Structure 1
Amino acid sequence: MKAFEEALQKLAEAKGFRPEPRPLLEQAFRFITTSDKPSFLILQAPTGYGKTLLSFALAVHSLYDASIFDRVIHVLPMRSIIEDIQKTAEEAFRFSRTKMMGSSGEFLHLFPLNITTADTFTWDLLKLNTKKRHRVKAGLEFGYDYLTQASILTSLVILDEAHFLVEDKSMVTAFLSVVEFLTSQRVPVVVMTATLSEAHRKIFEKYANKNGYEFRVLTPQNGDPFIERELKKEIEIEFKTGNPLEFIEPGKRNAVIVNSVKRAVELYDEVLKSPGFWPDREKVLLIHGRMTPSHKRKLIEQLRKWKNEEFLLIGTQAVEAGVDFSVDVMVTDRAPINALLQRFGRVARYGGERKARIIVLEDAPPGPYPEDKVEKTVKLMKETKILPRVPETYQSIVTEVHGSKPSSINKNVNRELKRELLKLMADPTKRATLVLDTIESLTAGGVSVMRGFLIPLLVGDETVLISPRKLMELYSRGEVRVVRVSGQREEELQVRGLNDAYSVAKSIALGKDIEVIFTGQYDMERGIP
């Protein structure tokens, strides 16, 4: 436990808190570092529990003992969550490296702690370095294909917030391909999640048992200091209809979380036009996914400074995970239970806070979520009293909404694509050039390998991901240029409708030299509405 204690102490010093016992994380650390077989651990702990401490402790352990794994790779479902972990790792340990598309020149996972996105991690397992794509296509190099994959296969892999990936129809096939390949190579795996259904557990257990792993699910029990503290909190959950701004309480810390950028911007503008909702305009923040990374960083830093002051935050799913703040009042659009629990994790989040109020809007638009899961969530939550950070109070709802049988997940899996991805990962004759040819062929045929066809929009020297529909909208307003680059020549491309927008997205996914450049005036309050 030397590495665990060292990591806890360094983290406490960097964050300025008094270390508190975390028996669940200690149990997880012992299991991983003493198992005779490869370990497959599901760590099911609520938001705010401090699960990332395990990642840091295992990275420190690898410095003392590399007999089981010689580094840790921490995989997250989205870029927005990475920044907080990376910042903490640098402050406390100074031994981590972030690796994601467009952010780093590193091609190997060689640091004690490597933090990456699920997309980049999947490309690396496929032996395709996205930074080297054009040179691979030109036949000039293989882009470190075997070396990149090999640096993963000697690591311990932590798949954090895994429920996002299992429930994402555009990502579930690639994600389960990754899990199957890692377990076929007997790589130690940790799945971290706050919301694990029985169907999720059974899928992971199947892969683990098939390849001779020691499989375990750990969740905090009564007697855990964190759970005991949460049981004493008074968090009231109500169901209402109407304008979310009618339920905020000036003088307190408030968050309004809605399901779309458009709705968030409209509410923000309504607050600014109607001082009766919130008189202090300087204490109103808007955060959503169509803001530049530097803009979001500035806003999050401001939010941290207001830790003990009143404020009103209006946001989208972009603040569900990875943004460390706490509120007294949360008003939220209805959503599936896993999304709501992530949002609720920002209510009375800190140890000394005892009371909070949550209002779930029953009449809010359910999109982008499946309406059946949203409606089932609201129905079951009305029937069951839950505490947002006590798993035993909400676990039955998670399983009922997301299923108890693997078939509820597998129905979204493209089996042909999964077989193809596994072949590309596992077959040593499939080098980067062949992998790229196959991916291009699949994409040209309309198969989205990962994340749908999102488009990187250049805003200055930063990137914001947008959908083809948003590209079409911006183009129609004259706020973007679409340029194909060929040597020293630039060719302007037209976007006359949604089909053209999808063609641009597919071309970018195929690695073609196309840039989508924002030419409008970036709004330092609203981002790209």
Structure 2
Amino acid sequence: MRAYTEAVERLAEVKGFRPEKRPLLEEAFDFLTSSSKPFLILNAPTGYGKTLLSFALALHSLNDASLFDRVIHVLPMRSIIEDIQRTAEEAFGFSRTKMMGSSGEFMHLFPLNVTTADTFTWDLLKLNTKKKHSVKAGKEFGYDYLTQASILTSLVIFDEAHFLLEDESLATAFDTVVDFLTSQGVPVAVMTATLPRGHVKFFERYAMKNGYDFKVLSPDEDDPFVRRELEKDITIEFGKGDPLSFVEPGKRNAVIVNTVERAVELYNRAISDTRFGFERERVILIHGRMTPSHKRSIITRLQRLKNEDFLLIGTQAVEAGVDFSADVMITDRAPINSLLQRFGRLARHAGDEAGKAMVMEDAPVGPYQPEKVEGTLTRIKERDIHPRVPSTYEELVTEVHGPQASSVKKLVNQMLKGKLLQLMSDPSKRASHVLGEVERLVAKGTPIMRGFLVPLSVGSEVVLVSPKKLFELHSLGLVKVRGVVSELQELGDAYLVARAIALGDDVEVIYTGDYDGERGIV
């Protein structure tokens, strides 16, 4: 446990908090460093400090590499990666990020490697898309075997795994990844705050098939964290109409909505109408179409106001990766897992005593499945849940997302999975073979991974946008495209650009408009 203790001390020093005992994390650390073939599910609420486990395990690997040489921390969203990387650099100085738009090229050779699910899958497929031209020209293989080997000798941690299992565009790739990793005996840990029984069964099936020590850990009511949280008065109410009408001046407020457009509209009204009771510098907007440096400056601003009144208006980008505590949260309706992530920002810190959530029943559902949204609202009204005490909401999560492993399996394209699994596992399939097969699949319009997002260059930084948003911005004369096509005549052209970028083609997409230092790309 020496590495665990050292990790706690370093984080406490950098973050400025008094360490609180976390029996669940200690048990998880002990299991992952003592079992010869561990598969762990850590089901702990938001704010529990699950990321500490990755830091502690990375420190452990520096002194004892008998079970794993390093840690790879896989996340579904870039926004969370930026927060973890910042903390890792400040406290330990031994991590590296790898994701679309990052400039560095490397294998997973650092004690702690933080990456997105998409990039991790490409690496497991032995394809470094940045080396695509050299691979296609037959000049090199782009680290193919070496990159995959650096994964197979690591401990892999999937953080916020529910995002990967519930996203139809990611489900097939993620199922393939879990199948392959467990067939190779790679130590695996899954961390999430919201895991229905169907997802547990999904992981357990692969663990049992390949002879793992399988364990599920969740805090009980004797856990110090749970005892503290149960003392807080957190209420959940429902309302209709204008979200800003529920804001309470003099308190820390957060308004979380389902689209960027809705967030910007609310922000514009909040800063122009004195009736809402906030000085302009205390009204903060954050969403996914902002540059990394812009988001960092906003988070710094928010942290300076942590004990003062403010009005934060944001999108799903706030659900994870933005550490703040609110007294009042007004949120658009959403599925239970998203609501729990949002509620996790209520009275989040030690010393906070109460929090109130207001769910807008008539809000647009945005990108979510309407049946899951409606199922969530119906059930949440019928029971008393506490957003940071898993025993109060686990059954509700299962009811909304499905009790059987088949709830995941039905999202998986078995034909695509078979091809991806063969490319991963067949040693005769090198990077050039993988690239050829992937190009054929993409040419047919097969979505291998998440929706072919487009890295939009804004100065020296990158903002990821959807092909639909790219087409909209291009239609407004705010974007230039170099390579593949120069003019986007229809939405299909934007998808063509996105697919070419996903395959590593020499394509540049440049934002030519004036970047809004308050609102980002809107």
* Band the TM-score falls in, shorter-chain normalisation: over 0.9
* Correspondence 1:420 to 2:419: yes
Residue 442 of structure 1 and its aligned partner are, at CA, apart by: 0.4
TM-score when normalising by structure 1: 0.97
Number of the residue aligned with 1:526: 519
Residue 509 of structure 1 and its aligned partner are, at CA, apart by: 2.5
Number of the residue aligned with 2:25: 25
Number of the residue aligned with 1:452: 451
Q: Per-residue CA shift, 1:411-463, capped at 9, x if unaligned?
A: 11111111111111111011001111111110010011111122111111211
Corresponding letter in the other structure for 1:240: G
Correspondence 1:44-59 to 2 at 5 A: 44-59=43-58
Number of the residue aligned with 1:165: 164
* Correspondence 1:14 to 2:14: yes
Number of the residue aligned with 1:213: 212
Structure 2, gaps ≥5 residues long: none
1:383 counterpart SS class: coil
1:438 counterpart SS class: helix
Corresponding letter in the other structure for 1:515: E
Residue 61 of structure 1 and its aligned partner are, at CA, apart by: 1.1
Q: Paired residues, what number?
A: 522
Number of the residue aligned with 1:283: 282
Number of the residue aligned with 2:323: 324
Structure 2 CA distance for aligned equivalents of residues 380 and 418 of structure 1: 35
Identify which range, 389-398 or 508-517, moves more after superposition.
508-517
* Correspondence 1:438 to 2:466: no
Corresponding letter in the other structure for 1:370: Q
1:3 counterpart SS class: helix
Q: Verify the 8 A CA contact 2:131 2:504 in the aligned structure 1.
A: no
Number of the residue aligned with 1:394: 393
Corresponding letter in the other structure for 1:25: L
1:422 counterpart SS class: helix
Identify which range, 164-173 or 96-105, moves more after superposition.
96-105
Structure 2 CA distance for aligned equivalents of residues 64 and 320 of structure 1: 35
Q: Verify the 8 A CA contact 2:37 2:186 in the aligned structure 1.
A: yes
Number of the residue aligned with 1:488: none
Corresponding letter in the other structure for 1:503: L
Correspondence 1:335-374 to 2 at 5 A: 335-374=334-373
Residue 103 of structure 1 and its aligned partner are, at CA, apart by: 1.5
Corresponding letter in the other structure for 2:253: N
1:330 counterpart SS class: strand
* Correspondence 1:263 to 2:246: no
2:362 counterpart SS class: coil
Q: Verify the 8 A CA contact 1:99 1:115 in the aligned structure 2.
A: yes
Q: Verify the 8 A CA contact 1:386 1:393 in the aligned structure 2.
A: yes
Number of the residue aligned with 2:99: 100
Q: Verify the 8 A CA contact 2:457 2:511 in the aligned structure 1.
A: yes
Q: Say which of 483, 487, 493 aligns to 1:500.
A: 493
Residue 93 of structure 1 and its aligned partner are, at CA, apart by: 1.3
Q: Verify the 8 A CA contact 1:255 1:314 in the aligned structure 2.
A: yes
1:119 counterpart SS class: helix
Corresponding letter in the other structure for 1:30: D
Number of the residue aligned with 2:236: 237
Structure 2 CA distance for aligned equivalents of residues 147 and 174 of structure 1: 21
Structure 1 CA distance for aligned equivalents of residues 509 and 98 of structure 2: 23
Q: Per-residue CA shift, 1:93-134, capped at 9, x if unaligned?
A: 111111222324232111111111111111110111122122
1:276 counterpart SS class: helix
Q: Verify the 8 A CA contact 1:101 1:131 in the aligned structure 2.
A: no
Q: Verify the 8 A CA contact 1:107 1:129 in the aligned structure 2.
A: no
Q: Verify the 8 A CA contact 1:291 1:527 in the aligned structure 2.
A: yes
Corresponding letter in the other structure for 2:282: K
Q: Verify the 8 A CA contact 1:10 1:92 in the aligned structure 2.
A: yes
Residue 56 of structure 1 and its aligned partner are, at CA, apart by: 1.0
Corresponding letter in the other structure for 2:29: F
Structure 2 CA distance for aligned equivalents of residues 506 and 192 of structure 1: 31
Corresponding letter in the other structure for 1:507: A
Q: Per-residue CA shift, 1:316-357, capped at 9, x if unaligned?
A: 001100110010000000000000011111110001111111
Structure 2 CA distance for aligned equivalents of residues 356 and 183 of structure 1: 42
Structure 1 CA distance for aligned equivalents of residues 15 and 520 of structure 2: 30
* Correspondence 1:183 to 2:182: yes
Structure 2 CA distance for aligned equivalents of residues 120 and 507 of structure 1: 16
Q: Per-residue CA shift, 1:126-178, capped at 9, x if unaligned?
A: 11112212211221100011111101111100000101111111111111111
1:296 counterpart SS class: helix
Q: Verify the 8 A CA contact 2:257 2:314 in the aligned structure 1.
A: yes
Correspondence 1:107-126 to 2 at 5 A: 107-126=106-125
Corresponding letter in the other structure for 2:39: F
1:147 counterpart SS class: helix
Structure 1, gaps ≥5 residues long: 486-491
Q: Verify the 8 A CA contact 1:336 1:369 in the aligned structure 2.
A: yes
Q: Per-residue CA shift, 1:41-77, capped at 9, x if unaligned?
A: 0000000000111111111111121111111111111
Structure 2 CA distance for aligned equivalents of residues 277 and 324 of structure 1: 24
Q: Say which of 498, 509, 517 aligns to 2:510.
A: 517
1:107 counterpart SS class: coil
Correspondence 1:469-480 to 2 at 5 A: 469-480=468-479
Residue 84 of structure 1 and its aligned partner are, at CA, apart by: 1.4
Structure 1 CA distance for aligned equivalents of residues 362 and 433 of structure 2: 50
Q: Verify the 8 A CA contact 2:132 2:505 in the aligned structure 1.
A: no
Structure 1 CA distance for aligned equivalents of residues 268 and 17 of structure 2: 38
Identify which range, 122-131 or 194-203, moves more after superposition.
122-131
Structure 2 CA distance for aligned equivalents of residues 213 and 400 of structure 1: 28
**Fraction of identical pairs, as percent:** 68
Structure 2 CA distance for aligned equivalents of residues 512 and 4 of structure 1: 43
Number of the residue aligned with 2:34: 34
Identify which range, 515-524 or 335-344, moves more after superposition.
515-524
Structure 2 CA distance for aligned equivalents of residues 495 and 525 of structure 1: 28
Structure 2 CA distance for aligned equivalents of residues 245 and 105 of structure 1: 43
Identify which range, 84-93 or 357-366, moves more after superposition.
84-93
